[in-house]
Every structure is written in structure tokens, then in C-alpha cells.
Amino acid sequence: MSSTTDPRLAEAAPKKRAFHPSMLLYDQRYRSITIQIFALFLLMLGAAWLIDNVINNLRLLGRTFSFNFLWQSAGYDINQRPIEYNSQMTHGRAALVGFLNTIILAIMGCALATILGVLAGVLRLSSNWIVSRLVTIYVEIFRNIPTLIWILIFGAVMAESMPAPSTFRGDDPASSMLFDAIAITNRGVYIPAIMFTTELGVLPLGPISPSWNWVLILAVLVAGVFANKYLIAHATRVQNATGIRPKTWWKSILVLFGPVILIFIGLGAYLEYPELRGFNFAGGTHLRNSFLAMWLGLGIYTGAFIAEIVRGGILAISKGQTEAAFALGLQPGKTMRLVILPQALRVIIPPLISQYLNLTKNTSLGLAVGYMDLRSTLGGITINQTGRELEGMLLLMAVYLAISLTISGLMNVYNSRVKLKER
Amino acid sequence: MSDTHAQTVAFVRNEMIAPSDPPAREAGAVKWLRENLFSGVLNTFLTVVSLLIVWYALAAIGPWLLNSVWTAGSLAECRAILDGTSGACFSVITDRWHQLLFGFYPPQHYWRPVLALALLFAALAPVLFTALPRKLLLFTAIYPFVAYHLLWGGSVWFPVSVALGFVAGILAYLIVARVSTLIAVFAAILAPVFWWTFAAGAFDQTMSGILPLGLEFVRSDRFGGFLISLIIGISGISLSLPIGILLALGRQSDMVFLKSVCVVVIEFIRGVPLITLLFTASLLLNYFLPPGSAFDLILRVIIMVTLFASAYMAEVIRGGLAALPKGQYEAADALGLNYWKAQRLIIMPQALKISIPGIVNTFIGLFKDTTLVVFIGLLDPIGLSNAIRADTNWNGIYWELFIFIAALFFIFCFGMSRYSMYLERKLKTDHR
């Protein structure tokens, strides 16, 4: 039975069939192309319809599409100004101030949320009955009540429950400053500010011109971190070569903090304390109620989520890892640092970053308590004054999108670096 | 054998000695205290700090809560009753609870949202608890129309005519499916569209003319309070899951174009805050629609909230899909299942099970995010609490309102998270 003579087999053998239009629908190889072209067609149709509507609507309203309003005078004040701003400056400048306020709030909020979250996450695993119950209550209450309510509650706490500045007056005042340095009032919290006797001028960097003093301090700090990294790498090399790890902790402290302290002394840094003048406190740094409500609301709320992430990360590491580390003779501290944490971090970091993203996006709730973030300046007053809601909202979305994509891009880089290398 | 001992040993105890009690410090409350609260220096310190926190919290809130007033008509009256002592004034709740729950919904019609909520539980029951008979799902399918009619009212024939569109689609599919599945899908899409564009309006009018049935119409701007949170939250939750699944499948698809569209949609929506989308719904939608067209603000908000949650849902489900071993896909192929059958019978049941915690978290997030509608002028509980405070009677009242609103949200969100835990335990098939 030779295959060449069997007519049925010859027919069944793969044969190049001529293309037939029905294959566009019934052949798996072509069907996906058909579907995609159809989808592309629908999408373009939809986009054309939307754009046509926008053009028609703009024409009917007698408007143009332009971003010129960004260079017009803003005419409104912003209470929290990280860079120089007054109402004569442009809408663009106001948007920049709002953007910086958003960033400040996001960074401060993430820091608070991380500290609270890590603490709560670890404490929730504590064997101490009352501590773990208390932390559970914190986590459940904050996770299950909307962040907007928390922001409003903290806003009300600051504005309604704190003493008025006038109660700090007199020989026997009803309220007093914490450590003679921090005044918590219903108009905000006043904390000491770091001032310098020597000002090195400003770094001309376009619209944002940071003071040279702070740039220098930041540069020295970063340099210190890198030097410390080198120091530790060196210690590891010595340990690998000789088996004895040189003591590095005091060198680390010296490298990290020494130069910064020297610079602070060199520039003549001193603390300016807030003091009661007239009806209000003056001097120091004024943390406004709007900022505090946002900071505490977002920070404590997101902290509850981070606590769950940290707890989950620690629980995800199987007990065998701890036992293996003990079997190798590692002490509990080293077990945590060398075995558990590196593995737990791999589980913790991605959802942690997405919480940071959520917090950053939630800063747009600032309007609720009058915090002048990007949403309240560009997306609020500027839109109301110029009537440019289309341009303003598009710009606002673009900025938020850029922030989000930057953060998630950084996360992807980190993820690919710590990913399990499977062989 | 049994009497060996009787011959060799003079005495054998034939009952056990009662075990003696453990030492006092190793038993009962003392042991529990030692182990759970004072097992070391650090633990003792933590216990003391915690007790102090509890003490201060109770000392601050306890008397205020216990000394609360429930019957006053205004804050001033409340303060007069309290007479300088510290106490909560929950009379604002007894006075205004109906506003916080229903907004400005006509009071004589309160039974309608209440009935809609009760029916919601009936409609949810067969979805949530698989032990119930499957036929109940039919009620779940018609529930959205019932709920719409109960809440908004108007002619009963309007929701019926909309529902008939879906019936037309199903019928068209069933009839044409005998010829070709692919054409049947098109027919199932086209039939309802034709029905809604050409026939539904006429049907609605004729039937209303013949048989004018229906409840009194309630305009959308009368809706408010927790009712609006529930409407937006529940519609968003039920719509975002299917859309999220489709987006996730699109993102996993081999079709380059579809995939990139899904990626752009998901990343765009996840990258901007919900509030900008809500503002788009309230301010910008008029730019994108044909001149002169306008539709209900609540509906626009529902669409935006749904889109927002769908993008998050898609990412959650994508995680579940990625966690499935590749062998499952290959097994489905080996069984000769086509794409949709493989998804429905093999992939999705497993992927959804893995992603339950994430899905429920997204639901909870969505429900909490309904509070943001206050920024575009809808009177949700927070908006109403501002309105109540604007009244001279209740000017200056904060905590009681916040406690009430927060408690409402807490009950719903906490309930959802507990249900998800129950579901996870129930569906757990591995024995770790």
C-alpha cells in the first residue's frame, strides 16, 4: 500500500488552495485581519464623528481652540506658593504653582503613608493581642470609608477643634506651643523654619529658580548616599577576600550626615521660631489647614492600604525560608534583612507603587478643602475665569497622565531589575 | 493472659490518677495575659501604649456619645439641652435622615427606592449564592428595568420597550444561528439597534396611549443622598465587570490593533484622576455630542464611573489571566474548543476565581469613589451634609453628619469585603 497511489491521501495532503473571499470570514488566518480592519474602520468613524462634533460645537459657540489663555494675567491669588507668584502673573504660572503644590502634597503624603503603612502592617502581625486588634480597627475603618470623607473630617478637626491663636496670648494662656516651637492653631500649624545667614543666591532655571543653598545641600546629600554605597560595596569586597567584615556603621553615619551638617554650619543655618504677633502667628513655616487636611487624610487613608500590602508581602514568604535561614545559623535580625525582606519587597513594591499613584491622583480632591493644587488652579479657577474648559481639561489630563506614566515607567524598570531570574 | 498480673503483682491501680492542675501562671487568664500581652519588654511597652490610646479615645469620645441629644430641632436647641456639657447632637440625623438617604426624592414615594433596594437583594441572591435555583436568574435579568421604573417612574412602557430590544436581539440570534453563527452575532447586534431606533419609540407611544400604566415620574435632580451613591455604585459595579473582562481579553489578544487600542484606553483611564473624567462628563460632553443633544447627568456620571472602574477591573483580571498556567490554554485548544468557549468554560472561571480579591477591591473603590460626584454638583451624602450645614438651624454641625455618612459607607464596603472572603474560602480548591 503505497501512499502515492492512494487517491484519498493525495487529496488530503496539504495543498495550496486559491484565495477565496469567504476565507476572510471563515479562515482563522485571515479572520483576525478582517476583524481588525473592521474595528479600525469603526474607531476612525467614531473619532471623526467626535472631532466633527467638537468643531461644530466650537463654531456654534463662536470659540476657537487655543492655549493662549495660559499667557494671560491670572488675577487670582494662591495661598500656598512654593515659587514666587502674585495675581498679576499668568495663568500658566498659576498652573505651575498648582502643579508644584500637587507634587509637594504627593511626596509628603507618600512619605507619611509609607511610614504609617509599614508600621501598621508589621504591628498587625504582632503576637500582641491588643496591638494587632487596634491596628486591625485602624486598617478596616480607613479602608472602608471614602478618602473624601476623611479629608473633610481632618479639615473639620483642624478648623473646629484646634485652639484659636488668641488663646496663646497672655500670662496664663489656655493653649501653649509644643516644645515652644510648634503652634497648632485653628488657622494651621506653625513650625520652625530653617533659615540661613549666608544666601548664595538663586539658581536661574527658568520658571522654577531654587535657592543655591538648598541645591547645594541636596547635591551633598546625594553624593553622601553614593559614597556610602561605595563604602558598603568596599566592605563586602573586603569580607569576600578576608572573611572579616570591617565595621562600617560609624563611617556611614559620618559620610551621610557629616558634610551636610558642615554645610549647614558653614551657611549659618538657624531655626526661625513662630511667634504670636498681632492676631496671628508670624515667622516659621505655616502649614495651612487645607494642606494638613489633605496630607493627613490622604496619608493615613493610603497608609491603611499599604499596611495590608506589607502584611500580605510578609505572609507571602513561606515559613520554610525563615527556618532555612535559622538552620544556616543566621540571627533573627539578619534573617529578616538578608532572607525575608528581599523576597517580601518583590511582592510589596508593585502594589505599593500603585498606591503611590492612587495617592497622587487623589491629590486632585484638594478642591474639597480649598487646597490649591493643579486641579484647583488650572482645572478650577483658570477654567472658570477664561471659559476654556476644553483646553484646560485636556491640559490637566495630559499633566496627570504624564505624572502617572512616569511613576509606572519607573516601577517597570524596578520590576524588571528585581524580577526572579529564572533559568 | 488477662490474669497474669493477678498472679504476679500484688496490686495494680485500675484507674488513672487525675491530672494535677497546671501551675497558676500557666493556666487561664494569667497564661493568656502573659503570652499575648506581656511576653517581653517590647510587647509590654506596646500593650501599655495601646491601653493608653484606648483610654484616651474612650475618654474623649465616650461621654460625648453617651450624652447625645436625639430630639432637638436645631443646633441652638441642642446646645441649650446640653447646657454646656459635652455631648453629641444626633438630632440632626433624626431631623434630616430622609434627606441624607433620599435627597429631595418626593417623600410620598420613598417606598419606591426602598422596594428597589429590597428587590436588588432578591436579584443578587442567585448571583451571590449558588445554592439557590438557577431559574431565579431570570428575575436578575429583568431587575435593571424594574429598578429603573421604580426609581424614575414615568410610563411603564418605556423600560418595556427598551427591554424588548434585548429580547429582539436574543430572538434574532436564536433564529439565525441555525444558518450561521457569525451572521447570527451580527443579527443579534443589529436587531436591537433597529428596534430602538425605529420601533421602540412608536411602541412606547402606542402602548401608553392604549394602556397608560406607570408611576409618577421623578426628575433626576430630585435624586440625592445615599440613594444616588447606591445607584451610581451598583450600576457601575454591574457594568464594569463585563467591560473589564472584554478589555482584559483585548489586551491579551494576538490582534495587534485591538490590543493597542485596549492598552491605550486602559492606561489613559488609569492615568488620570476620576475627578477629571467626571468633569469631562459634566463640562465637556456637550462638546463631543451633536449640537443640541443633552442627556441626564446621572447617566453621564454612571458611564464615566463605569469606564473608570472597567480599566482597573481589566488590569485585575489580566493579573488573573497571567497567573493561569499555559497548560490550561493548551488543554482547551486540545479539546477543540473555540476561543469563546475556551474562555467561558476553562479560562475565565479560573482567572476570575484568582482575581476575586482584586475585583472586590475595585468594587469597593468604585463605591467609595461615588462620593466624588459632589464636585460636579450632584447631591450625594457629602453634598447634602454641606446643604444641611448651610441651613441656619444646623450651621456648625460636623461630627454627627460625618459619623452617619461614614457609617453608611462602612457598612456597605465592609460587607462587600467580608463577602469576598467568604467567596474565596468557598471557591478554594487547593489544599494548602
- Determine the pLDDT at residue B431: 52
Subunit contact A147:B258, Cβ cutoff 8 A: no
Q: Do A138 and A238 belong to one domain?
A: no
* Test the A interface: residue of B287, B369, B371 with most A CBs within 10 Å: B287
* Residue type at position B134: R
DSSP state of A381: I
Query: Where among A272, A298, A328 does a domain terminate?
Result: A272
Annotate A159-181 with DSSP letters as a single string.
IIISPPGGGG-SSS-SS--BTTT
What is the tens place of the pLDDT at every residue in A371-387?
888 888 888 888 888 88
- Determine the pLDDT at residue A14: 52
Q: How many whole angstroms separate alpha carbon B272 and alpha carbon A396?
A: 9
Q: How many whole angstroms separate alpha carbon B51 and alpha carbon B59?
A: 12
Subunit contact A130:B271, Cβ cutoff 8 A: no
Subunit contact A405:B39, Cβ cutoff 8 A: no
Residue at B324 is within a domain: yes
How far A65 CA sits from the closest chain B CA (Å)? 12
Residue A394, judged by CB atoms within 10 A of its CB (0-12, 13-18, 19+), counts as middle
* Residue type at position A74: A
Q: Which portions of chain A are predicted below pLDDT 70?
A: 1-17, 25, 171, 419-423
Residue at B321 is within a domain: yes
Q: Report chain B's terminal Cα–Cα distance, integer Å.
A: 48
Q: Do A96 and A161 belong to one domain?
A: yes
Residue at A307 is within a domain: yes
> To the nearest whole number, what is the mean pLDDT of chain A?
83
For residue B357 the three cell numbers come to 480579591
The residues, any chain, with a CB within 8 Å of residue A275's CB and separated by 6 or more, are A281, A282, A283
Residue A145, judged by CB atoms within 10 A of its CB (0-12, 13-18, 19+), counts as buried
- Determine the pLDDT at residue A17: 65
Instruction: Tell me how many helices (H) and strands (E) chain A has.
Output: 15, 7
Complex prediction ipTM? 0.86
How many Cβ pairs closer than 8 A exist between chain A and B?
144
Query: Where among A225, A241, A272 does a domain terminate?
Result: A272
Q: Identify any residues that bridge with A195 across adjacent strands, giving them in sequence order.
A: A270
Collect all residues of chain A within an 8 Å Cβ-Cβ radius of residue B417. Answer: 143-144
Q: How many whole angstroms separate alpha carbon B157 and alpha carbon B162?
A: 8
Angle at B305 between CA B302 and CA B308, to 5 degrees: 150
The HSE-up count of residue A328 (CA atoms within 13 Å, CB side) is 12
Residue at B188 is within a domain: no
How far A261 CA sits from the closest chain B CA (Å)? 33
The residues, any chain, with a CB within 8 Å of residue B233's CB and separated by 6 or more, are B366, B367, B370, B412
Q: Identify any residues that bridge with A90 across adjacent strands, giving them in sequence order.
A: A73
From the list B54, B258, B409, the residue facing A145 with the nearest CB is B409
- Determine the pLDDT at residue B6: 56
pTM (global) more than 0.90: no
- pLDDT tens, N- to C-terminus, chain B (432 residues): 555 555 666 778 888 888 888 887 777 788 888 777 777 788 888 889 989 999 998 988 888 888 888 887 788 888 888 877 788 888 888 888 888 888 888 888 888 889 988 998 888 888 877 777 878 888 888 888 888 888 888 788 888 888 888 888 888 888 888 877 777 888 888 888 888 888 777 887 787 778 777 788 888 888 888 889 999 999 998 899 999 999 999 988 888 888 899 999 999 999 899 999 998 888 888 788 877 777 788 888 898 999 999 999 998 998 888 888 888 888 998 998 888 888 888 888 888 888 888 888 889 999 999 999 888 888 888 888 888 888 888 888 888 889 999 999 999 999 988 888 888 888 777 654
Residue at B265 is within a domain: yes
Residue at B121 is within a domain: no
From the list B53, B271, B286, the residue facing A57 with the nearest CB is B286
- Determine the pLDDT at residue A3: 45
Q: Do A263 and A125 belong to one domain?
A: no
Q: Do A374 and A245 belong to one domain?
A: no
- H or E element that contains A406: helix A389-418
Whether residue B348 contacts residue B245, with contact meaning beta carbons closer than 8 Å, is answered with yes
Q: Do A229 and A312 belong to one domain?
A: no
Residue at A42 is within a domain: no
Domain residue limits at A234: 193-272
Q: Do A123 and A147 belong to one domain?
A: yes
Q: Do A123 and A266 belong to one domain?
A: no
Whether residue B68 contacts residue B61, with contact meaning beta carbons closer than 8 Å, is answered with no
Specify the residue for cell string 532655571.
A205
Residue at A381 is within a domain: yes
For residue A162 the three cell numbers come to 484646634
Query: Where among B62, B87, B113 does a domain terminate?
Result: B62
The residues, any chain, with a CB within 8 Å of residue B111's CB and separated by 6 or more, are none
- Determine the pLDDT at residue A106: 93
Query: Where among A272, A300, A315 does a domain terminate?
Result: A272
Annotate B371-431 with DSSP letters as a single string.
GGGGGGT---HHHHHHHHHHSGGGTT--HHHHHHHHHHHHHHHHHHHHHHHHHHHHH--S-
Residue at B255 is within a domain: yes
Specify the residue for cell string 476575586.
B356
Whether residue B348 contacts residue B248, with contact meaning beta carbons closer than 8 Å, is answered with no
- H or E element that contains A196: strand A193-196
CATH code of B265's domain: 1.10.3720.10
Residue at A402 is within a domain: no
Q: Identify any residues that bridge with A276 across adjacent strands, giving them in sequence order.
A: A281
Specify the residue for cell string 443589529.
B190
DSSP state of A369: G
Residue at B147 is within a domain: no
The residues, any chain, with a CB within 8 Å of residue A228's CB and separated by 6 or more, are A252, A255, A256
Subunit contact A127:B289, Cβ cutoff 8 A: no
* Test the B interface: residue of A27, A347, A397, A408 with most B CBs within 10 Å: A397
Domain residue limits at B340: 96-105+222-432
Residue at A21 is within a domain: no
Whether residue A165 contacts residue A274, with contact meaning beta carbons closer than 8 Å, is answered with no
Q: Do A267 and A342 belong to one domain?
A: no
Angle, helix B399-427 to helix B356-369, in steps of 10 degrees: 160
How far A60 CA sits from the closest chain B CA (Å)? 8
Q: Nearest CA to A306 among A145, A140, A112, A117?
A: A117
How far B306 CA sits from the closest chain A CA (Å)? 17
Residue at B133 is within a domain: no
CATH code of A345's domain: 1.10.3720.10
Task: Encode burial over A181-212: b for 16+ CB neighbours within 10 A, e otherwise.
Answer: eebbbebbbbbbeeebeeeeeeeeeeeeeeee
What is the tens place of the pLDDT at every residue in A12-70?
445 556 777 777 767 777 777 888 888 889 899 999 988 888 888 888 888 888 888 88
For residue B359 the three cell numbers come to 475585583
Specify the residue for cell string 475665569.
A385
Q: How many whole angstroms separate alpha carbon A54 and alpha carbon A58?
A: 6
H-helix segments, A125-170:
129-143, 147-156
Q: How many whole angstroms separate alpha carbon A136 and alpha carbon A144?
A: 12
DSSP state of A170: S
Whether residue B214 contacts residue B154, with contact meaning beta carbons closer than 8 Å, is answered with yes
Angle, helix A341-362 to helix A389-418, in steps of 10 degrees: 180
Q: Do A294 and A311 belong to one domain?
A: yes
For residue B415 the three cell numbers come to 460587607
How far B400 CA sits from the closest chain A CA (Å)? 11
The residues, any chain, with a CB within 8 Å of residue B211's CB and separated by 6 or more, are B157
DSSP state of A15: -
Query: How many separate domains does chain B show?
Result: 2
Q: Do A421 and A316 belong to one domain?
A: yes
Whether residue A286 contacts residue A299, with contact meaning beta carbons closer than 8 Å, is answered with no
Q: Report chain A's terminal Cα–Cα distance, integer Å.
A: 49
Q: Do B240 and B296 belong to one domain?
A: yes
Residue at A32 is within a domain: no
The HSE-up count of residue A81 (CA atoms within 13 Å, CB side) is 13
CA A381 to each of CA A77, A94, A241, B285: distance values in angstroms, whole numbers, following the listed order: 10, 10, 65, 20
- Determine the pLDDT at residue A107: 93
How far A343 CA sits from the closest chain B CA (Å)? 19
Residue at A324 is within a domain: yes
From the list B46, B289, B371, the residue facing A146 with the nearest CB is B371
Query: How many separate domains does chain A show?
Result: 2
Subunit contact B271:A156, Cβ cutoff 8 A: no
β-pairing verdict for A188-191 and A285-287 = antiparallel
Task: Encode burial over B11-25: b for 16+ CB neighbours within 10 A, e otherwise.
Answer: eeeeeeeeeeeeeee
Collect all residues of chain B within an 8 Å Cβ-Cβ radius of residue A393. Answer: 276, 279-280, 283-284
Q: Identify any residues that bridge with A182 across adjacent strands, giving them in sequence order.
A: A178
Q: Do A150 and A260 belong to one domain?
A: no
- H or E element that contains B181: helix B181-194
Phi, psi of B132 (to 5 degrees): -75, 155
Q: Do A340 and A415 belong to one domain?
A: yes
Collect all residues of chain A within an 8 Å Cβ-Cβ radius of residue B54. Answer: 130, 134
Phi, psi of A277 (to 5 degrees): -130, 125
Q: How many whole angstroms separate alpha carbon A366 and alpha carbon A156?
A: 14
The residues, any chain, with a CB within 8 Å of residue A323's CB and separated by 6 or more, are none
